[in-house]
Structure 1
Amino acid sequence: MCWAVPAVVQKIEGDTVWVDIGDGVPRPAVLGISDARVSPGDFVLVHAGVVISVLDFNAIEEFKKNYVELFTELAAASGEDVEKVREEVEKSFEEWLKTARERALEKQQNQYAVW
């Protein structure tokens, strides 16, 4: 199965976008959409190393819902504690979302770091 992951744009260098998928590690991705639509601090969807869409908070909340559902189904199928897995996934996603919101706010205030 292939899936796309949400990420936060850190920096843009031509057709390369440096993104954070939530672990603080900058990763390169190819810009697969118009560069006029993407700027540092934006939430994007990355599939197979290519930025395929810009996300808003509603889309991110939908991702959270889908990730929780996917991981709890996998937990149930493998005999793991479903509620524990649900809590862990929700906590991880909330931590990422908090960081993403902070970066979006910095972007709005034009205070994001360019490294």
Structure 2
Amino acid sequence: MDSTCLRVIRISWNLIIAPWKMLFAFVPPYEIAHGWIAFICSLIFISGIAYGVTKITDQISCVTGVSPYVIAFTALAAGTSWPDLVASKIAAERQITADSAIANITCRYISAHLLSS
């Protein structure tokens, strides 16, 4: 990639994450009160984000006519699968063989199958 494309990607990424940086800048350092204040602030922020996602999925279901449960389960599946995808990608890039990436995917689906039974 050329430097112009990389610069555009970097600027776009910074614009996307700027609201999150601003929001979580208000979480105090964990050294204060043994981390309890930071923990409570983080819980409040995460609850607010979950509420916002719930409202967005309700709006999407209203516009598309798809059941809100289908959209909620789709959002849940995507939210739990993306971290595994990123971990597998990093493992595949850092090793000569992709053994860790394949093991990560296999263990993920085996544990999901066994826990859902």
TM-score (norm. length: structure 2): 0.34
Would you tell me which structure has more helix in proportion to its own residues?
A: 2
Would you tell me which structure has more strand in proportion to its own residues?
A: 1
Higher Cα radius of gyration: 2
TM-score (norm. length: structure 1): 0.35
